[in-house]
Structure 1
């Protein structure tokens, strides 16, 4: 399966490496590559990270992928947006109560992505929920549970991740969680290294992968790589334990969101 092979080779240390079990999206990449045109982070259009006033809130891991991400623009706030978002957060928090003991997550079919790799945040992914999320939004069925390792607790639950199909429109995403309150993102423009150059993923200045300098099909093919316009699904993290509501939908995975 492309996801597993490519991600493990890449050796990524943030969520791009973690989503190895989301089903059925690699085959959809090419036919869906134009569905969110104008929002690519490397294009200078809507959602460009270089133009984002709140880029500093993303953390170094996310910011390092500036050429390989698409992010939804902030919409003007509409009546009821914040109340709807808070309802979703409350449902997420209630769902998380069962999974404070990570062993219950495993028992319910969640699988730890790359458990042997040291990570700032561990995704426990459930394939059935990922498939359902392509069709409908259910806050009680997150695609992933987000845990941190601590000195005193093997896995400490801090949040959830929701996903939507790769070709979801801006309106689709807004109907799930208002874009005036939160920003969805998607990993894009991935240049897979040729077999004899996979060590480049972990070099100080990589050309390939999610942190690489290559983010166009032309440049990728010129280097003998395989270009993938889209990786994975649309996704959004929710951290219900944050006391300040502006941090509940944080895109900074490098800092803990449970205290």
Structure 2
């Protein structure tokens, strides 16, 4: 029993360390201009994920920094399991259609003052930490809100997360890989410490940059990160088109 508790404590410490490293990375990149993407608004994996999916920057280069799970063969059991996940999520998130309720429950929006964001991630850090150990389909790490004309937010989906080291089978246990494609952010080259981020060449560096190997990063004097943050998957439970429910 003591051994089990120690393992859990160590895992928790590693998870927190990973989260702190992600925040430190975002701080290192603060203030940079990436051809339309403002990294100063990125304070954790959800915010980074938002920028990568909203079309900011060079689409060709962005593809260099995204890795997806392959779709496994479709089967009825997985479809049924995914359908249950969606139904459960619909019920769990119904109350959060009022974003004030989400905020009261601990979901925090990332820099809502940046009006160029069409979709805003509301993230609950406690759920993100728990997701490193266990999966609760009714407790997504982030809620996805679309900006409404009246200045409020319309709930459109959610994001599940898992730790960096999760295996494909472990991801599949959470959300079937025959239905959804989990993704992760990879091969980031960040300028050397002390670099003026406002004058750095962001056509080369960052999540939209052309550098995607350690060799090229070393040659440019940067710092290379093989993977940033953990695994993520989006779900849009109210989409009427089945192909868009688990769209990435």
Sort the TM-score into its range (normalised by shorter chain): 0.7 to 0.9
Q: Which residue of 2 aligns with 1:196?
A: 195
Q: Distance in 1 between matches of 2:224 and 2:186?
A: 10
Q: Which stretch has the larger CA shift, 135-144 or 115-124?
A: 115-124
Deviations 1:87-135 (A, max 9, x none): 1111111121111111111111111112222212100111110011111
How many angstroms does 1:193 deviate by? 1.7
How many angstroms does 1:11 deviate by? 5.0
Three-state SS of the structure 2 residue aligned to 1:95 is helix
Q: Distance in 2 between matches of 1:89 and 1:17?
A: 33
Q: Distance in 1 between matches of 2:212 and 2:236?
A: 30
Q: Which residue of 1 aligns with 2:167?
A: 169
How many angstroms does 1:225 deviate by? 1.0
Q: Which residue of 1 aligns with 2:185?
A: 187
Q: Tell me: CA distance 1:250–1:63, structure 2 relative to 1, closer, same or farther (3 Å).
A: farther
Normalization by structure 2: what TM-score? 0.78
Which residues in structure 2 correspond to 1:72-91 (within 5 Å)?
72-91=69-88
Q: Distance in 2 between matches of 1:249 and 1:165?
A: 20
Q: Tell me: CA distance 1:230–1:10, structure 2 relative to 1, closer, same or farther (3 Å).
A: farther
5+ long unaligned stretches in structure 1: 24-57, 252-259
Q: Distance in 2 between matches of 1:8 and 1:156?
A: 28
Q: Is the 8 A contact 1:10 1:209 kept in 2?
A: no
Q: 1:248 and 2:245 equivalent?
A: yes
Q: 1:20 and 2:43 equivalent?
A: yes
How many angstroms does 1:217 deviate by? 1.1
Q: Is the 8 A contact 2:69 2:177 kept in 1?
A: yes
Q: Tell me: CA distance 1:245–1:170, structure 2 relative to 1, closer, same or farther (3 Å).
A: same
Normalization by structure 1: what TM-score? 0.75
Q: 1:8 and 2:30 equivalent?
A: yes
Q: Which residue of 1 aligns with 2:92?
A: 95
Q: Distance in 2 between matches of 1:223 and 1:122?
A: 33
Question: Larger radius of gyration, structure 1 or 2?
Answer: 2
Q: Which residue of 2 aligns with 1:29?
A: none
Which of the residues 213, 217, 221 maps onto 2:214?
217
CA-based RMSD of the aligned residues comes to 2.6
Q: Tell me: CA distance 1:110–1:91, structure 2 relative to 1, closer, same or farther (3 Å).
A: same
Q: Distance in 2 between matches of 1:86 and 1:19?
A: 32
Deviations 1:141-191 (A, max 9, x none): 000000011213511111000001111111111111111111000001111
Aligned residues: 215
